[in-house]
Structure 1
Amino acid sequence: MENIDELMKELHLDTHLTLEDIPDIDLYMDQVIQLFEKKFAPTKRNDNEKIVTKTMINNYAKGKLFFPIKNKKYTKEHIMLISMIYQMKSTLSINDIKKALHMLNEKIMVEEEFELGELYQHYLQLAENNVERFVDDNAALNHEVFADLEEQGNPDAAYFQQILLAASFAHMSNLYRRAAEKIIDGMEDAQTKKD
């Protein structure tokens, strides 16, 4: 794939659920699903893929990935947490996500003054910065891979480029996942020592 810019566009990397996207009123499950489906539809790999389902959200609730809902309605805070879970679930185990969000859920339930919106906004800013880094890094990677193969004059250069890019992306994903797991393990250790 010579045109890494085209790939970056197809990924819809700038798709995030912003605070402005989340209504100020509590939502029922079907409304939450509609909100996510509408916002993240361009990021689906194919039309059959589901962004979130009732089963997923019920499993998150049963697994205590977010604080309990009331009257079958999800608050703005629930939706922010579900958005974070949605981003983490493709890389981290449900158990790791639960560990990562445990203290945050406690703060939401106990501290009346805790403002999740500020933390979530910071998360969104980091996500935007991550996209910029990803695009820049991958343009450099694409150039490096393509230049090496082109110099060799290989007739299968485009195919080999795709293999190398896919393998490199998978490797980078693995490195980031392992780093995230180590951070979560450290959070758990710190919580154990605190108790």
Structure 2
Amino acid sequence: MNELLEELGLRNQITIEDIPEIDLYMDQVIQLFEKKFNDSKRNDEEKLLTKTMINNYAKGKLFFPIKNKKYSKEHIILISLIYQLKGALSINDIKQTLDGVNNRITGGLMELDEFYNGYLDIVDKNVTGFKEEVEKKSNDVNKELESLHAEEDKELEQILLIASLVNMSNLYRRTAEKMIDALGSKEK
């Protein structure tokens, strides 16, 4: 299990230090993401970020407008947050979640670097907690298999662990969606 978790590249994140001080064209943004998250891809065919995706994020107003076809450090940070959020949330939920951040940035009320570094600190703690939780789930699955007298059945072990992880993922996603709904009603 530890090998599997290491293969996931859970700590792969775009840090403030990874982002150049100069604004980037779209192809450069895509290259930055490909370089940073290449190890996180499920397979070689998976696209991390495409021009179409970025254009859809811009059209959907998931981040404030770009200038002169270049993306600032703030845009790259927001695209990184979108990249992380899109694995569990709809585009509308992401927009609603990031609206407050975008408004604060355009209003000069927020230093996005500090917010993003705080997010990265939380991600690091989440990865540590996740690894511990997966180990606990694996132990729970093995105990269940023992009670079924099927402790040698590796396929059943994997199926139970997969189902458990998906269940936890759904619980987290549903909780996040309820928080987004509350955020939306607060804004109205």
TM-score (norm 2): 0.96
1:62/1:141 CA distance change after superposition, 3 Å: same
2:72 to 75, 98, 106: 75
Alignment of 1:21-36 (within 5 A): 21-36=18-33
Counterparts of 1:155 and 1:47, CA distance in 2: 34
Partner in structure 1 of residue 61 of structure 2? 64
Q: Deviations over 1:86-120 (max 9, x none)?
A: 00001000000000001110111111x52100000
Partner in structure 2 of residue 125 of structure 1? 121
Partner in structure 2 of residue 161 of structure 1? 157
Whether 1:108 and 2:105 are equivalent positions in the alignment is yes
In structure 1, what residue type is equivalent to 2:9?
H
Partner in structure 2 of residue 191 of structure 1? 187
Partner in structure 2 of residue 12 of structure 1? 9
Counterparts of 1:114 and 1:143, CA distance in 2: 44
Partner in structure 2 of residue 47 of structure 1? 44
Report if the CA contact (8 A) 1:146-1:157 is conserved: no
Counterparts of 1:83 and 1:34, CA distance in 2: 13
CA RMSD of aligned residues (A): 1.3
Q: Deviations over 1:18-50 (max 9, x none)?
A: 111111110000000000011000000000001
Task: Give unpaired runs (5+ residues) of structure 2.
Answer: none
Q: Which has the higher contact order (CA 8 A, sep 6+)?
A: 1
What is the percent sequence identity of the aligned residues? 56
Residue 7 of structure 1 and its aligned partner are, at CA, apart by 1.5
Partner in structure 2 of residue 178 of structure 1? 174
Question: Which runs of at least 4 in structure 1 moved beyond 6 Å after TM superposition?
Answer: none
Q: Deviations over 1:98-146 (max 9, x none)?
A: 00001110111111x5210000000000000110110001101111212
Counterparts of 2:145 and 2:184, CA distance in 1: 45
Counterparts of 2:110 and 2:3, CA distance in 1: 41
TM-score (norm 1): 0.93
Task: Give unpaired runs (5+ residues) of structure 1.
Answer: none
Counterparts of 1:91 and 1:146, CA distance in 2: 28
